[in-house]
Amino acid sequence: MLLAGRVALVTGAARGIGRATALVLAEEGAAVGVADVLPEVEATAEAIRKAGRRSAAAVFDIADPAEVREGVESIVKALGPIDVLVNNAGIVNNVAPVGRMSHGAWERELAVNLSGAFNMIREVVGSMVERRWGRIVNVSSIAALGGLHHQAGYAASKAGLLGLTKTVALEHARDGITCNAVLPGLIATELVTAMPAEIRESAVAATPARRLGETEEVAHLIAFLASERAGFINGVEIPVDGGMRLNTSSLASRREARETRRPG
């Protein structure tokens, strides 16, 4: 087991990648605190307890520093100081060309996706420094590398998260703390599987692996980065994208993608 005796905290753990990550960290031996704005996060805690590990849930908005303080305190009280922080919670609520994006929607995406991770790190890093050990994993996106049509706020927030990741890595490497980023491509969460078939199929065609990723494929990478074994890996950004970020503009690539999309 990679995480025996550790205490982890995963944000956005009510569903999707966050829920899968919380379950995998528990499988690897950690006690896992789970946080979300949705009260359904209690079901994730319940599943972890059923699997024989300690768990506690907290409902709070990561964009609100006061709520974060209170929520983290409640998890620490229940499980002990946090060894592993996974900043997974994120939103897409702002799909429009940049010239038509509302200021409020832009601000909210940055507040959750970028400031939310900052708020969480600020709350736990002091105790990691005191204990000379810590692992922070930030869930960014391949949109941070290539941009994303009509999602300037999302792409900018996820790119900002990479700057935060590298700075925390630099500042705290000497304290036995690592901070790394994982960059999912298209992963089969409820949101993605509910997309109109045409959009989903074209995304699959743009992925050299020709399939969506599974939430567990992201979760297992996070578990490794959270472990003792990954102690010398710091400040990196690792795509989990079936090759989606690679150059697919060659004639042969485009021909193969067209063939994937052709029915039958």
Ligand X SMILES: NC(=O)c1ccc[n+]([C@@H]2O[C@H](COP(=O)([O-])OP(=O)(O)OC[C@H]3O[C@@H](n4cnc5c(N)ncnc54)[C@H](O)[C@@H]3O)[C@@H](O)[C@H]2O)c1
Q: According to the binding rule CB under 6 A, does residue 11 interact with ligand X?
A: yes
Give the other-Cβ count within 10 Å of 179's Cβ: 28
CB of 67 or CB of 175, closer to ligand X: 67
Q: According to the binding rule CB under 6 A, does residue 184 interact with ligand X?
A: yes
Q: According to the binding rule CB under 6 A, does residue 71 interact with ligand X?
A: no
Binding range to ligand X, per CB under 6 A, among 24-32, 189-197, 221-229, 250-258: 189-197
Q: According to the binding rule CB under 6 A, does residue 115 interact with ligand X?
A: no
Q: According to the binding rule CB under 6 A, does residue 88 interact with ligand X?
A: yes
250 is catalytic: no
Nearest-10 crossing angle of helices 251-261, 197-205: 150
Smallest distance, Å, CB 46 to ligand X?
Answer: 15
Give the one residue of 7, 8, 10, 17 binding ligand X; rule: CB under 6 A. Answer: 17
Smallest distance, Å, CB 20 to ligand X?
Answer: 8
Which residues in 182-197 are b (16+ Cβ under 10 Å) and which e? Answer: bbbbbbebeeeeeeee
Q: What angle do CA 239, 2, 121 make, to 5 degrees?
A: 60
Q: According to the binding rule CB under 6 A, does residue 38 interact with ligand X?
A: yes
Binding range to ligand X, per CB under 6 A, among 35-43, 72-80, 94-102, 255-263: 35-43
CB of 154 or CB of 250, closer to ligand X: 154
Q: According to the binding rule CB under 6 A, does residue 191 interact with ligand X?
A: yes
Footprint of ligand X on 192-251 (CB under 6 A): 192
Distance CA 94, CA 101 (A): 7
Give the one residue of 120, 139, 152, 162 binding ligand X; rule: CB under 6 A. Answer: 139
Using CA atoms, how far residue 120 sits from 61, 129, 209, in Å, is: 11, 15, 34
Intra-chain end-to-end CA distance of the chain, in Å: 44
Q: According to the binding rule CB under 6 A, does residue 91 interact with ligand X?
A: yes
Q: According to the binding rule CB under 6 A, does residue 89 interact with ligand X?
A: yes
Of the residues 60, 106, 118, 154, which is catalytic?
Answer: 154
Distance CA 162, CA 152 (A): 16
Q: According to the binding rule CB under 6 A, does residue 123 interact with ligand X?
A: no
Chain residues binding ligand X by CB under 6 A are 11-12, 14-18, 36-38, 61-63, 88-91, 112, 116, 139, 141, 184, 186-187, 189-192
